[in-house]
Every structure is written in C-alpha cells, then in structure tokens.
Structure 1
C-alpha cells in the first residue's frame, strides 16, 4: 500500500517494564476501509490504537497514519485523526453545543466558524433538543454521540473507534454502526476495536485478530470463517431421544467425533457440498421416518473463529491492558 494514505504499521513493538504489550505488530488499512481489530482483554488492541494516535511512542517499528509518521510528525497525525475511546472525554459542566464550540476552537476554527460547525453537528447527530443541556445530564448513548461529533468538528482522514459501543443501548449502538457506514462512504479510514464479534462481522471490510501482542490472523470475515471448516448442516430432532436413530440414519455423513451444540440436542454435519449435503440429509431423515424441529445449512460464526484462534471465547475475562 501507499504509506501516504490510510494506515501502515510495520513491526511495532511496545513494552511497559517487563510486560511486552506489542511484539512486532504489522498490518495496513486502505483509504475508506473499515478494519476490525479483535482480541481479548490484554491482547494489545488499545495499546495499538494509543501508538497510532500518538498517545504513546513505540519502542521499535514504524507507523504511518494519513501520510504522517507517528514518531517523526505526531502533530500532523493528530490533525488528521479522530479518536473515540471507551469513555467520552467531555466537559460535563458545558452543554453539548458548548462542548462542540470548544473543540472547534481547539482545532483552530474561528469563533463564528466553530459555532456554525457545532450547529451542523447538533443536527446531524439528532441532539437538537438536548443542545443546551449540560452534558452531565446526558444518557450514555447521547454522550457517545456528542463525543463522536466533537471528533468530527474538522473532517478526519483516519478514525479510531476504541470499543465505541461498550455499554450502549441497542438504539445508540445502531447509531454508531450507521456512523461507521457514513465514514466508509466518505472515504475515511476506520480502525474499529471491539469485543462484540457480530459488530466486527457486520461493519468490517477486513479483520485482524491480535493475541498476546501479535497478529495471529487477518482477512475478511468470510476468509476467517472458512478456517473453521466451512458450512455445516445442523439438525434438531423433535425429541432428544431420537438422536441415536438420527446418528444411524446419517451414518457416513458424520465425522467420527461429530459436533453437538448446547445440551447435545442437535447434530452438526460438515457440508462441503452446501445445499447438496442438505438435500441428502433431508432424504435420509425422511427415509428413516424421523421428525425434526429444525434443519438448516449454517456457516461458522465469528465467535467460533475467535475460539479456534485464541483458545477461549471472546467473553472470557482476562487481565486488562497496561494503563498508560
């Protein structure tokens, strides 16, 4: 990729004392691309964002954001990015409108321009009714919206969203999802760190998985899912007592250690031939006179990919990353 666009990371390392947070991270994000960054707590996601947003300096390696080196020209990087963390960094004693004006002034806008831009963003983020209220009275979703709006006072080239929907209600979460789509349509590069795997699946053009400070996998969601073995046919009998008979009817299609789900009330069959496998399963079930409550051709979830890659589910609690 052209290092003058998007994000380019080459061999970044970062340690805090004896703790190696990043161990040779390398990846890139193209202009207008949404890159999902997945990993358990302590994997290095936030440290990566902190390096790219110039909050901390790398020990080794090179990172270029919007054409600017994070070490050689951090001021230019900061002028080119928007960073939204897990907690909104706002002045609770100021109104939403006043926060926006303040950010505009800090970004170098003249007073009139800052007020005009604030008014535009208040409308765009559906905050007109609350514009004059102190931010301390805002709900979590409203705080997140005004926080993101503050980062857009001046149009960024690269956006870092560090777990932006943590703690949000479904409606506010959907608003953030819609915003990510707007960034993509505007040609803005977006790096999205999240532990919500369906969020990464829905929004990301590509995904990198970080564990213990190393990129252990990268690709599209479909490419990552294919690593778990592709599609499978899932069959749920009306009665669990029919499982042995179902197993017999599907003999030859099932692997020796066929997969069960939940409390072993169903059978999952590898379906390399897709709908043809499904059709054969249906034929055998009908011939055996068995009743099923559900049968479907499914694909692996990103949760299953995460489990396979890291050895534990995404919701498993791990030590938090080193605070800086």
Structure 2
C-alpha cells in the first residue's frame, strides 16, 4: 500500500478572469518510508496539491488516499495519519508553547502525551521556551513550534511545506537531523522546498511540477545521472559574450555554464579570452539537482511554447 496516492488529480479555480487550472491530471505514488521531494517554480501547483492532501481544498477530479484512506470519503482517518507543517506562521497568541502542544494533542484524542511533548521540545530546541507565550517567540521559534504541532500525535506521514523558508542555519540543521531520524524510524516524509541543496541531500525520490503537470519523476540518483552536462564554474568581473550570457547562471561574480565535453570547455575559455574576460577560481563540477531542475524547467517551457503556438495555429 502506498503512503500517499494521487490518482489523476486536477484542480480548477474560478477567478475573475475565468477558470484557472492549477493541477492537470497529476498521478504519483509515495511509498511508505520514503523521503520524497516535490519541487517546482512558484505557481507550479505544489500548494494546491498539498491543500488537497490536507483537506483544505477539494480536487475538481481525481482522488487522493493516505495509507488507503480517501481524503474526502474517510477524511477523519486520513487526517490522523498526517502531520502537516504549513508555509505560513499560524499560532494562537493566548497560550504558551507547552499548552499549544497539549491542545493539539487533544484535537487528535491523544491523552497523557507529556513524555512525547518533552521529547519534541528537547529535539527541536524548544525546552527553554516551553512556558513562553507564543507571541513572545521569534519567527524561527514559531516555526519550530509548528513542526512540533505537526508531530505531536506521532503521524506516520509528515508533510513539510517550505519548512525552512526564512529561518536560520541552526534551525535547519536541528530540523533536518530530527526529521531524518524519524524517517529512519519508518515515517514517510513529503517535502516541498525551494532550497534544492536540501532536497538533494535528503530525498530518495523527486517529482517536479510545472504548470500543474508532473514533468519529472525519478530517484535522485537517476536524475543526476541523466544530466548530460558538467558545469564550468568561475568568478569574473567582466562582461560575458552575449551567447555565453544567454546560457549562463550568474550569481554575483560567480558564473556557471553547461559544458558536456572537453571541447565545450575549450570553446568557452576561447570565447572568454577573445572577449578579454579575466576569470578566477576556475573549476569543473558534476551537475547538481539545481542544474537538473533548470534543465527540466527550460525543456518543458519549450514544449509549452510549442503547444501554445500549435494551438493558436489550429484556432486560426
């Protein structure tokens, strides 16, 4: 049995400008015990998919099951099996941290839960904040409490929706150590994140969404092995030739260019010399998940454009 099964899920929102299709026939299974990554640019449909899984939105068509429980027909059991950490910082300002966790336990009918609450507080670096009012906590501490609330009923499936957005390095390390421990104990983890280095380090399998479609679904190893390019990386203060600039990923002084062969490296360096561009810290590295992600998104964008042009031609 799959931990989570999305079967032909579509979602259409009615807007002032007309219907908007956020998800289009999405099908994928997440197996028990997996650490699964769901990636995509803003507007790809990730939040819609998580909202349908959580019961916060209804699919226009298709079905979602959590360990065999349909999220619509058997919603109570489905929700007991999920622990969801949302993107937004949502908290009750009238209670302290421990009280918030006890109340959350009560929502799921869990009694005498103080031993597990103590372990959560200790593991997430909240032990010294147990009696602090939620209003007194920093954004990072509130994020830790959200994680604790999601885990307080010991769900077999943990859903992390951008859990480290805008938080410090210490929290990231603490969170990933704890979640990785839970995953090794058998918990299934579904992660959405824009920090692709986190996904590469943690996830066994990855699905990539674009415009409501699944455009890639594979193991991490297969995705990285399937990339045909190495990457030529260097630093420069110079202006790149136009054709190199068009394919470069530039972050400040750091330039990264795809180079699938030694001939590509020689060609790029020759163009830089001819243009008088001085480079520093030159290196060649293997493509990482960010490189693969950008390749997949660029490839799919070309397909989208061709489909749109074909549709326009048919319409004419």
Q: Does 1:172 align with 2:159?
A: no
State the Cα distance separating 1:231 from its structure 2 match.
Answer: 2.8
Query: Which of 305, 316, 319 is residue 292 of structure 2 equivalent to?
Result: 305
How many residues were matched structurally? 283
CA contact under 8 A between 2:231 and 2:256: conserved in structure 1?
Answer: no
State the Cα distance separating 1:232 from its structure 2 match.
Answer: 4.5
Deviations, residues 145-180 of structure 1 (Å, cap 9, x unaligned): 111111212111111111111111111122222233
Residue 56 of structure 1 corresponds to which residue in structure 2? 57
Q: For residues 151 and 229 of structure 1, what CA distance do their matches in structure 2 show?
A: 40
Instruction: Output aligned runs, 1:187-202, within 5 Å.
Output: 187-202=186-201
Residue 13 of structure 2 corresponds to which residue in structure 1? 16
Give the 3-state SS of the residue equivalent to 1:311 in structure 2.
helix
Residue 252 of structure 1 corresponds to which residue in structure 2? none
Of the structure 1 ranges 169-178 and 11-20, higher mean CA displacement relative to structure 2 is found in 169-178
Deviations, residues 238-293 of structure 1 (Å, cap 9, x unaligned): x98xx9xxxxxxxxxxxx99976649998967456xxxx69x98xxx9xxxxx985
State the Cα distance separating 1:67 from its structure 2 match.
Answer: 2.0
Deviations, residues 59-85 of structure 1 (Å, cap 9, x unaligned): 211221122112221111001110110
Give the 3-state SS of the residue equivalent to 2:2 in structure 1.
coil
Residue 38 of structure 2 corresponds to which residue in structure 1? 37
Q: For residues 216 and 155 of structure 1, what CA distance do their matches in structure 2 show?
A: 33
For the pair shown, the structure with the greater C-alpha radius of gyration is: 1
Residue 317 of structure 1 corresponds to which residue in structure 2? none
CA contact under 8 A between 2:151 and 2:158: conserved in structure 1?
Answer: no
Instruction: Output aligned runs, 1:131-280, within 5 Å.
Output: 131-232=130-231, 262=250, 270=259
Q: For residues 267 and 105 of structure 1, what CA distance do their matches in structure 2 show?
A: 52
RMSD over equivalenced CA pairs, Å? 3.4
Q: For residues 95 and 257 of structure 1, what CA distance do their matches in structure 2 show?
A: 53
CA contact under 8 A between 2:36 and 2:190: conserved in structure 1?
Answer: yes
CA contact under 8 A between 1:258 and 1:267: conserved in structure 2?
Answer: no
Residue 307 of structure 2 corresponds to which residue in structure 1? none
Distance 1:194 1:235, change over 3 A: closer
| Runs of 5+ unmatched residues, structure 2 | 271-277, 300-316
- Larger RCO of the pair (alpha carbons < 8 Å, separation 6+): 1
Distance 1:265 1:33, change over 3 A: closer
Residue 122 of structure 1 corresponds to which residue in structure 2? 121
Q: For residues 137 and 298 of structure 1, what CA distance do their matches in structure 2 show?
A: 45
CA contact under 8 A between 2:101 and 2:148: conserved in structure 1?
Answer: yes
Distance 1:77 1:261, change over 3 A: closer
Residue 88 of structure 2 corresponds to which residue in structure 1? 87
Distance 1:204 1:8, change over 3 A: same
CA contact under 8 A between 2:123 and 2:178: conserved in structure 1?
Answer: no
TM-score (norm 2): 0.78
Residue 67 of structure 1 corresponds to which residue in structure 2? 68
Residue 77 of structure 2 corresponds to which residue in structure 1? 76
Q: For residues 118 and 173 of structure 1, what CA distance do their matches in structure 2 show?
A: 20
Q: For residues 232 and 20 of structure 2, what CA distance do their matches in structure 1 show?
A: 44
State the Cα distance separating 1:296 from its structure 2 match.
Answer: 3.4
Query: Which of 2, 6, 10 is residue 3 of structure 2 equivalent to?
Result: 6
Deviations, residues 9-45 of structure 1 (Å, cap 9, x unaligned): 1111111121111100011111111111111111100
CA contact under 8 A between 2:124 and 2:178: conserved in structure 1?
Answer: no
